[in-house]
Amino acid sequence: MKYFPIFLDTTDLSCLVVGAGEVAARKVELLLKSSAQITVVAPWACNTIQALAETGKITLSNKEYDESDLQNMQMVFVATNDSQLNVSIHDQAKAHKILVNVVDNTPLCQFITPSIVDRSPITIAISSGGVAPVLLRYLRQKLETVIPHKVSLLGQFSERFREVVKQRLQTVTERRYFWEDVLDGDIAESVYQGNLQKAEDKFLQKLEAAENTTVSGEVYLVGAGPGDPELLTFKALRLMQKADVVVYDRLVSPEILEMVRRDAEKIYVGKAKSDHAVPQEKINELLARLALEGNRVVRLKGGDPFIFGRGGEEIETLIEHGVSFQVVPAITAASGAASYCGIPLTHRDHSKSVVFATGHLKDNSINLNWQGLAQQDQTIVFYMGLTGLPIICKKLVEHGLAADTPAAMIQSATTPRQRVVTGTLENIQQIAEQAGIKPPTLIIVGSVVSLHKKLNWFEES
């Protein structure tokens, strides 16, 4: 981030605005939503500025700007039509270590004013770093439609009881769980309806119950999908935002990891070829221990937890320890990869069935049911098969598939880093090596691969 988002306490903040045209007036009107003390300096002022000065909302000094006007100021907006003067004021303000913003001149802005959704005391600010103001207006319109106007009442209600909850619930986790239940339930609805007495009565009853309840942990096995964050389910995102701890693997994309709760503890337990950062048995025990300590634990897995995700092994351990859990399915890697590279897994003219297989067994072998896999009119998807690709191709041919059967390899499916190479069982290994294909990679074998060039929509041709 070039601009660090921050909310300033404007109590006793002295702000200077140089210029008094309509552009300056818009900034002054924005500042008036705060508690800042506003001084405007300009030899001439528009009607809006004049009216604000006459009502005593701002101090207007009808004169040319002088460097002495910066004295005792902590923030400066520059909005004159004299570009040289704007640069000069910017340089002087920086020399005095005063935050300065030259309106509509991003390179001369130490700070920028964001687009704001105002539901005081709830304030939402968004910014593009000054490069896309129209996009910001569009996003603000979207936010305005989904955030209840009366959320300000809920903010005031929360402020009223914040210290009470802090005194009666001892830990941060207990307080967070309590407030989440309040904001998700009928207490919030009563506040929105303006029935504050009813909301207060329910709130105090709930708080009393919370004092006598022990916080219990839970594990959520959440499928992160094949990589594109827009393929997450609503439930996955909701639970990711509730997590105290997130245990994630190598196949979870950075974009998805950015969507978990900001202050959640993040524990990496990823596995790569011949390099298990944390053995599976220890991951199982880790999940149980974290939950028994009272945490909401999200086990975030690439793809789907129950398709080569070892989710079954993990919840067996949770059951042994008496830990509550939920499983959140996701778009598995095979489905995501096939869809994003234009290879339908089934097609009436090419494939009447599809089978998923692993290219890497628990004992490091690839001892599969090759006879069952090497069927005509069937699509085969191999997970974790890059290392075993020579064996896979050889065994499929040995058990009846033609050497010219189409095959594809998809790397980093559904992400901007996606790469697809196609060939046949006879030459796909050589093609993959020449292309430098690396994990994470899926292999698709079958006649449907021949449709890739025709149906490919995600990658530029």
Binding-site residues sit at 22-23, 43-44, 226, 302-304, 307, 332-333, 384, 413
Rounded to whole angstroms, the Cα distance separating 40 from 111 reads 19
Annotated binding site for NAD(+): 22-23, 43-44
Classify 226 as helix, strand or coil. coil
User: At residue 442, what are phi and psi to the nearest 5 degrees?
Assistant: -110, 150
Residue type, 69: D
Integer CA distances (angstroms), 295 to 236, 244, 265, 288, in order: 17, 6, 10, 10
Q: Is 249 known to be catalytic?
A: yes
Q: Is 2 known to be catalytic?
A: no
Question: Active-site residue among 249, 349, 363, 454?
Answer: 249
CA atoms within 13 A on the CB side of 176: 13
- In this structure, what DSSP letter does residue 113 have? P
Annotated binding site for S-adenosyl-L-methionine: 226, 302-304, 307, 332-333, 384, 413
Nearest to 373 by CA among 404, 394, 347: 394
Question: Active-site residue among 94, 202, 271, 394?
Answer: 271
Q: What are the helix (H) ranges across 169-233?
A: 172-184, 186-192, 196-211
Q: Cβ contacts of residue 161 below 8 Å, gap of 6+?
A: 203, 207
Integer CA distances (angstroms), 215 to 168, 174, 267, 304, in order: 14, 7, 22, 29
User: At residue 248, what are phi and psi to the nearest 5 degrees?
Assistant: -130, 160
Helices and strands counted in the chain (H then E): 17, 19
A 10 A CB-CB count for 430 gives 10
Q: Which own/partner pairs from 92-100 qualify as long-range (CB within 8 Å, at least 24 positions apart)?
A: 92/67, 96/70, 98/70, 98/73, 98/74, 99/74, 99/75, 100/75, 100/76
* Bond into 121 cis (ω within 30): yes
Helix (H) or strand (E) run with residue 75 in it = strand 75-78
Rounded to whole angstroms, the Cα distance separating 269 from 248 reads 6
User: At residue 406, what are phi and psi to the nearest 5 degrees?
Assistant: -60, 145
Q: What are the helix (H) ranges across 193-340?
A: 196-211, 234-242, 254-257, 280-292, 311-320, 333-340
Nearest to 101 by CA among 12, 1, 30, 9: 30
Rounded to whole angstroms, the Cα distance separating 235 from 321 reads 25
* Bond into 305 cis (ω within 30): no
Catalytic residues: 249, 271
